[in-house]
Structure 1
Amino acid sequence: MDAQEQDSFRDFVETRSPALLKTAVLLSGGDRHAGEDLLQNALVKAAGRWRRIDEPEAYVRRILYRQQVSRWRLKWPRRELAVAEPPESAAAGDGTSAAELRIVLRGALAKLTTRQRTVLVLRYFEDLPEAEVAQILGCSVGTVRSTTHRSLARLRSLAPELARVDQPDREPRPVSSPDFSPMEV
């Protein structure tokens, strides 16, 4: 890699790392350290092919998704994520603040399988169409639809308090703040 390519790569990493890290943490079930590892591995792979990459962000995101798919296919058990109990609400009304909802969502997402969490992140956080999610994950559109349906049903059962946030005419979407920080990124 020559000096100009190094500068280009360094600029890309400096400007796009925060957004890519948020995606990686979401894919990792809220585990920031696993998300950082996932992103670091993706950036190392991208650095090796930097001069041949036309769309760097799309390329790195695809590496993130594929690495996560490879992780869920591994045979060894997944580490448990220790999550603190949500604090008691001091707010008036129903007592559910946005912060509490993010904590509940984080805990519920951590209890989903890696595949379920990945499909939800791609569909709702990345806002990708079913066909593109299917292509990224190497499965059929029907598999994406059924996995999305089952994942949302499980998310609803794990965190019924999220139901009151839903719009009545749309499928439930994970709750996040404007800076996409439900995973404490």
Structure 2
Amino acid sequence: MADWEAAFGELLTARGGALRSYAYLLTGDAAAASDLVQDALLRVFSRLRVGGDVVELESYVRRAILNQYVDGRRRATLWRQARHLLVYPPVHEDVDVTIADEVRQALSTLSPKQRACIVLRYYEDRTVLEIAEQLSCAEGTVKRHLADARVKLAAQLGATKESLR
């Protein structure tokens, strides 16, 4: 068995569930989260030259998940803005989607960067500096994304100012 195969198996055994949970928090959809994790694993292990320990590999995979999520949302937004130029609108749109989970619904209204900041700050318990390093932006930008996201979430979830502190 190659080094990467052993590292791959160890990573999936030890942290596979945590990686899927992380991706689910970003996407809000179990199938999309599984796809995101699979794509991230493929990217990391196809470029990895030497196996690493589980903690190091997990950080690489988490970074790949985050990058792919943000890039995918950006591409989807660009596609939604331009697809009317290429595709006829459907005749019938029976979109009757009921989302029971208010938090998931509120998270889905955030921009990809805001959602990533919220997940990294409150799920991953990262500092503003760590989030800024992961997203390759300034600390002030992270603070702004967090503040905007909290205001938007509070308005949608009916939170009071005291509960936001």
SS in 1 for 2:34: helix
| Contact 1:53–1:59 (Cα < 8 Å) also in 2 | no
Classify 1:83/1:122 alpha carbon distance in 2 versus 1 (closer, same or farther; 3 Å).
farther
Q: Which runs of 5+ in 1 are unaligned?
A: 87-102, 172-185
Letter in 2 for 1:131: L
Per-residue CA distance 1:29-61 (angstroms, 9 max, x = gap): x11111111110111122221625451111111
- 1:11 positional shift: 2.1
- 1:85 positional shift: 4.9
Higher helix share goes to which structure?
2
Classify 1:77/1:25 alpha carbon distance in 2 versus 1 (closer, same or farther; 3 Å).
farther
Q: How many residues are aligned here?
A: 147
Correspondences of 1:62-141 after superposition (within 5 Å): 62-74=63-75, 75-77=78-80, 83-86=97-100, 103-141=101-139
- Cα RMSD of the aligned pairs, angstroms, is 2.4
- 1:5 positional shift: 3.3
- 1:66 positional shift: 1.4
Normalised to the residue count of structure 1, the TM-score between the two structures is: 0.70
| Contact 2:3–2:51 (Cα < 8 Å) also in 1 | no
RCO higher in structure (CA 8 A, sep ≥6) = 1
| Contact 1:9–1:50 (Cα < 8 Å) also in 2 | no
Q: Which runs of 5+ in 2 are unaligned?
A: 82-94
Report the counterpart of residue 23 of structure 1 in structure 2: 22
Normalised to the residue count of structure 2, the TM-score between the two structures is: 0.78
Per-residue CA distance 1:152-177 (angstroms, 9 max, x = gap): 000011111xx27x9x4863xxxxxx
Question: What percent of counterpart residues are identical?
Answer: 33
Runs of 4+ in 1 over 2 A off after TM superposition: 2-5, 81-86, 168-171
SS in 2 for 1:51: coil
